[in-house]
Structure 1
Amino acid sequence: MPYYVHSDPNADDGHWSTGGMRECARAGRCSDPRIEESGGKTVRLPALTPRAFCTADRDAVARALDALPALFVRVHMELGNRGSGSGGPVVSVSKSAPVPLSLGADELLRLILATLVSWEERVRTVARLVPLDTETSRQRRDGAILTQAWTILAAHLDALLALESEPMMRDGELVYLDGGDAGLDILYLAWRCRALLTETAKAARHLHGVPCGSCGFCELREVLDDNGQQDGARCRQCGAQYDAETYKALVAEKSAPIRLSGAHRRGLVATAGDDRLSRRA
């Protein structure tokens, strides 16, 4: 069965008219946002794409899916660590001595399996593969469930992301989900694993008082090198990047005069013809 045209991996976003596009399913977290003017302000909007995700975020979903098997194994190794996102009680798995079990890790493992299998079932349908035998699948070991679901999804990723909206069971309720939701699920599962393994990055520090040289907004966030030292900055508003040297030059050019005028509090950028003396007065 061919993939939906809007999910063709060979499609070039630039060959489609705006009318045939839709916004990237990652919305405000889109990795390749477009910058537009609205009401006299610069706004950051999701990329327009003929598929569920822009190319950058489709690749992000692929990387998250590739990482899930190894992350699953590592989370499984945390089952015996009660400090892994749990703090729950000791769970007895037999009549012998109770075994300390991380309820956080256990819940996450079950969520991963249930989520991947639910999408596996839908991909099997659109790809015309043998339907999943629910009763037999429940008797398999976790590793076998994960391996089979991951193999199907990895081999048909673009078919997965092209799924149309259909009802699926989530938390005991039927909700309508499509390929965009599938990609978001995969990204979320990978993030949950890294969070439990304490591998999620700390929020980038806001570099107050320094406006972006491209859009003028004071929305610069620090960029760190491999040693955790500041190595530049990135604008959260327009996405402009600054290495260490260009950021240093930007600070020298913009920071001092704007702090004197107070314009940084209003998101204004001083220009060459700006009468700073009058403004300070």
Structure 2
Amino acid sequence: MTACTVCLRDLYENELGHQACRPCTNRADANLAALAGADGLYARLADSLHPGSSSGGPAVSGSRTAPLPVRLDPLSLAARGGVVTILQTWLIDWHETLGYTHPRWDGGLQQQLDQVVQRLRVLLPWAAEAHGAFAEFTGEIAQLRRQCETATGGETPPRRIGVSCTCGRTLKVTLDTAGVRCPDCSAQYGHSEALRLPLAERRAA
């Protein structure tokens, strides 16, 4: 392996053979850490369930129909099948790959979230080196963090802009894009290379 599977940049000598470079591994670790804990994004979802809450949900007044008692975006992320289940699925996969016993979960969803995040962070260096789907994992964890930030009013989704590949294909990137591959010519661009591509021309409607 000579290039990071996440940002597509060339690996340094001490990273050769790994799936991901150190910055991408550190970014995944930071995204995991942001989800956990009493003040983490997952815990804050509970405060964002009611319409009109400080999370940025719309306040409804004078409506002809009664508003939903909870906001669906935070609820779907916080409930079983949301953030916790996605992270547990990844940990189960990692344990099976390593030949470890099936992980166990104790307590409620917040406790399970904290447990699975802690375990994933412990195994993260191994996954960055040896797990074939590490790029998919980092992308999904980054997406979970963005979804939680949006649901809790922390941040709006990053704006996507169109840039032109050297072959002429328009690629969609954001300021935090780790890397992008052109589906037409298979050219690979790391973070800085993608942001240096010329802006795509807007076509008239």
Name the TM tier (shorter chain): 0.5 to 0.7
Partner of residue 115, structure 1: 86
RMSD (Å), alpha carbons: 3.9
Structure-to-structure mapping, 1:28-43, within 5 angstroms: 30=7
One-letter code aligned to 1:141:
G
Following the alignment from structure 2 to structure 1, what is the Cα–Cα distance between the partners of residues 90 and 102?
12
Structure 1 unaligned blocks of 5 or more: 1-19, 31-45, 88-97, 166-177, 207-221, 223-233, 239-264, 266-281
Quick one: which of 140, 147, 150 aligns to 2:114?
147
Structure 2 CA distance, aligned partners of 1:201 and 1:107?
18
C-alpha separation in 1, matches of 2:96 and 2:33: 22
Select which of 48, 58, 67 maps to 2:10.
Answer: 48
Question: C-alpha separation between the residues in 1 aligned to 2:78 and 2:96?
Answer: 25
Alignment-derived partner of residue 148 in structure 2: 193
CA contact (8 A) 1:113 1:145 kept: yes
Distance 1:101 1:62, change over 3 A: same
Residues 74 and 48 of structure 1, relative CA distance in 2, 3 Å threshold: same
Relative distance call for 1:72 and 1:48 in structure 2 (3 A) is same
Picking from 38, 42, 47, the partner of 1:72 is: 42
In the alignment, is the contact (CA less than 8 A) between 2:49 and 2:71 conserved in 1?
yes
Q: Distance in 1 between matches of 2:128 and 2:22?
A: 12
| Structure (1 or 2) with the greater strand fraction | 1
Secondary structure in 2 matching 1:131: coil
TM-score by length of 1: 0.44
CA distance in 1, matches of 2:111, 2:89: 15
Q: How far apart are the structure 2 equivalents of 1:107 and 1:86?
A: 15
For 1:125, the equivalent position in structure 2 comes to 96
Distance 1:179 1:73, change over 3 A: same
Call closer, same or farther: CA 1:128–1:203 in 2, change over 3 Å.
closer
Letter matched to residue 21 of structure 1: T
Shift in Å at residue 127 of structure 1?
4.5
Output the TM-score relative to the length of structure 2: 0.59
Distance 1:184 1:202, change over 3 A: closer
Amino acid at match of 2:5: A
Q: Kindly tell me: are residues 104 and 203 of structure 1, through their superposed partners in 2, closer, same or farther at Cα, counting changes over 3 Å?
A: closer
Q: Quote the offset at 1:130 in angstroms.
A: 3.1
Q: Identify if the C-alpha distance between structure 1 residues 58 and 82 changes in structure 2 by more than 3 Å, giving closer, same or farther.
A: same
Amino acid at match of 1:150: V
Amino acid aligned to 1:142? L
1:106 corresponds, among 75, 87, 96, to 75
Aligned partner of 2:135: which letter?
G
For the 8 Å contact 2:150–2:157, the answer to whether it is kept is no
Judging changes above 3 Å, is the alpha-carbon distance between structure 1 residues 118 and 53 closer, same or farther for their aligned structure 2 residues? same
Deviation (angstroms), 1:63:
0.8
Residues 86 and 25 of structure 1: CA distance in aligned 2, closer, same or farther (over 3 Å): farther
SS in 2 for 1:25: coil
CA contact (8 A) 2:35 2:41 kept: yes
Number of equivalences:
152
**Aligned 8 A contact 2:25 2:124 in 1:** no
Give the distance between the partners of 1:132 and 1:162, measured in 2 at CA: 21
8 Å contact kept, 1:160–1:179? yes
Identity among equivalent positions (%) equals 16
Kindly provide the CA deviation profile for residues 60-99 of structure 1, in whole angstroms up to 9, marking residues without a partner as x.
1111111111010011221233676888xxxxxxxxxx98
Name the CA shift for 1:203/1:106 in 2 (closer, same or farther; >3 Å). closer
